[in-house]
Amino acid sequence: MQDDLFAASAQPADAAAARAAELRAQLHHHAHRYYTLDAPEIPDAEYDRLFRELQAIEAAHPELWTPDSPTQRVGGSVLKELRPVRHAVPMLSIRTETDTEASGAVAFDTRVRRELALGEGDPPVEYVAELKFDGLAMSLRYEDGVLVRASTRGDGETGEDVTHNVRTIGQIPLRLAHSVPPVLEVRGEVYMRRDDFEALNERQRAKIAAGAKGEKTFVNPRNAAAGAVRQLDSGIAAQRPLSFFAYGWGEVSGDGLLGSTQFDALMRLKAWGFPVAEQTRVCHGADELVAFHRHIGETRDSLPYDIDGVVYKVNRLDLQQRLGFVTREPRWAVAHKYPAQEQLTTVQAIDVQVGRTGKLTPVAKLAPVFVGGVTVTNATLHNELEARRKDVRVGDTVVVRRAGDVIPEVVSVLADKRVGDPPPFTMPAHCPVCGSAAVREEGEADHRCTGGLFCAAQRKQAILHYAQRRALDIEGLGDKLVEQLVDGGLINTLPDLYKLGFTALAALERMADKSAQNLLDALEKSKHTTLPRFLYGLGIRHVGEATAKDLARHFGSLDRILDASVDALLQVNDVGPVVAQSIRTFFDQAHNREVVEQLRAAGVTWPEGEGAQNTPQPLLGKTFVLTGTFPTLKRDDAKAMLEAAGAKVAGSVSKKTDYVVAGADAGSKLDKAQELGVAVIDEAGMLALLADPPTA
Ligand code: IVH
Is residue 190 within 8 A of residue 160, CB to CB? The reply is no
What is the C-alpha end-to-end distance of the chain, expressed in Å?
A: 63
Is ligand 1 within 6 A of the CB of residue 305? no
By DSSP bridging, strand 659-662 and strand 623-627 are: parallel
Residue 460 CA to ligand 1 centre (angstroms):
51
Q: Give this prediction's pTM.
A: 0.66
**The pLDDT value given to residue 612:** 47
Give the number of residues written for the chain: 696
> Is 511 in contact with 459 (CB distance < 8 Å)?
no
How far is the C-alpha of 613 from the C-alpha of 203, rounded, in Å?
Answer: 55
Per-residue pLDDT at 2? 45
DSSP bridge partners of 334:
95, 312
Ligand 1 atom closest to the Cα of residue 248 is 1
**Which has the closest alpha carbon to 111: 330, 277, 364, 306?**
330
Q: What is the number of the ligand 1 atom nearest to the C-alpha of 189? A: 13
CA of 248 to the centre of ligand 1 (A): 8
Interhelix angle 479-487/456-467, rounded to 10 degrees, is 140
Distance CA(49)–CA(464), nearest Å, equals 61
Task: State the catalytic residues.
Answer: 132
Q: What is the pLDDT of residue 357?
A: 82
> How far is the C-alpha of 310 from the C-alpha of 319, rounded, in Å?
20
Question: pLDDT of 386-442, one tens digit each?
Answer: 899 889 999 999 999 987 777 899 988 888 889 999 999 999 999 999 898 999 988
| 132 alpha carbon – ligand 1 mean position (Å) | 6
pLDDT of residue 608: 79
Distance CA 613, CA 616 (A): 6
Q: Are 267 and 281 in contact (CB under 8 A)?
A: no
d(CA 553, CA 575): 13
Q: DSSP label at 498? A: G
Query: What gap in Å lies between CA 547 and CA 531, rounded to an integer?
Result: 12
Which residues 6+ apart lie within 8 Å of 138 measured at CB?
150, 151, 152, 153, 162, 166, 187, 188, 189, 190, 229, 244
Ligand 1 mutation pick, 87, 92, 94, max ligand atoms within 8 A of CB: 94
User: Ligand 1 test: best mutation among 263, 311, 312, 331, most atoms within 8 Å of CB?
Assistant: 311
The answer to whether 368 and 337 have CB atoms below 8 angstroms apart is no
Name, in order, each residue with C-beta under 8 angstroms of 5's C-beta and a sequence gap of 6 or more: 52, 53, 56
Query: How much is the pLDDT for 13?
Result: 79
Q: What is the CA radius of gyration of the chain?
A: 33
| 9 and 60 Cβ atoms separated by less than 8 Å | yes
Distance set, CA 448 to CA 390, 421, 492, 591 (Å): 21, 29, 20, 19
Residue nearest to atom 6 of ligand 1 (CA): 132
For residue 641, CA distances in Å to 322, 613, 638, 644 come to 70, 13, 5, 5
Nearest to 186 by CA among 62, 272, 103, 121: 272
Q: What are the backbone angles phi and psi of residue 547, rounded to the nearest 5°? A: -65, -40
Question: What is the spatial distance between Cα 314 and Cα 324, in angstroms, rounded to a whole number?
Answer: 11
Element (H, E) at 532: helix 531-537
Question: How many beta carbons lie within 10 A of that of residue 289, not counting itself?
Answer: 26
Query: Does the Cβ of 630 fall within 6 Å of ligand 1?
Result: no
Question: Which amino acid is located at 115 in the chain?
Answer: E
Q: Do 398 and 417 meet the contact criterion of CB atoms below 8 Å apart? A: no
What are the two backbone dihedrals, phi and then psi, of residue 120, each rounded to the nearest 5 degrees?
-65, -30
- Ligand 1 centre to CA of 307 (Å) is 11
- What is the per-residue pLDDT for 221? 92
- Predicted pLDDT at 589: 84
**pLDDT score for 691:** 82
| CA–CA gap between residue 638 and residue 628 (Å, rounded) | 12
Stated as kind and residue range, the H or E segment containing 200 is: helix 194-209
- 311 Cβ below 6 A of ligand 1: yes
Task: Tell me what pLDDT residue 100 has.
Answer: 61
- Are 448 and 438 contacting, i.e. CB atoms less than 8 angstroms apart? yes
Using a 6 Å cutoff on CB, does residue 133 contact ligand 1?
yes
pLDDT tens, 573-627? 889 999 999 999 889 888 889 999 999 999 999 987 654 445 567 888 889 999 9
pLDDT averaged over 10-residue windows placed end to end, the chain, 696 residues: 49 87 91 80 86 90 85 75 91 81 84 94 96 96 94 92 94 86 96 94 88 86 92 90 96 87 96 95 95 92 92 97 89 90 93 90 95 89 91 94 83 88 94 91 87 86 94 93 91 93 90 92 94 94 91 92 93 90 90 92 85 64 91 84 83 92 89 92 91 74
Going by their DSSP bridges, the two strands 95-97 and 333-337 should be labelled as parallel
How far is ligand 1, taken at its centre, from the CA of residue 93, in Å?
6
List of residues 6+ apart from 555 with CB closer than 8 A: 561, 564, 572, 611, 612, 613
Task: List, in order, residues 6 or more apart from 105 with CB less than 8 Å away.
Answer: 97, 286, 289, 290, 293, 312, 336
Task: List Cα–Cα distances, 391 to 319, 332, 443, in angstroms.
Answer: 54, 47, 21
The finding on whether 250 has its CB within 6 A of some atom of ligand 1 is: no
Q: What is the pLDDT of residue 613?
A: 47
618 vs 647: CA distance, rounded Å: 8
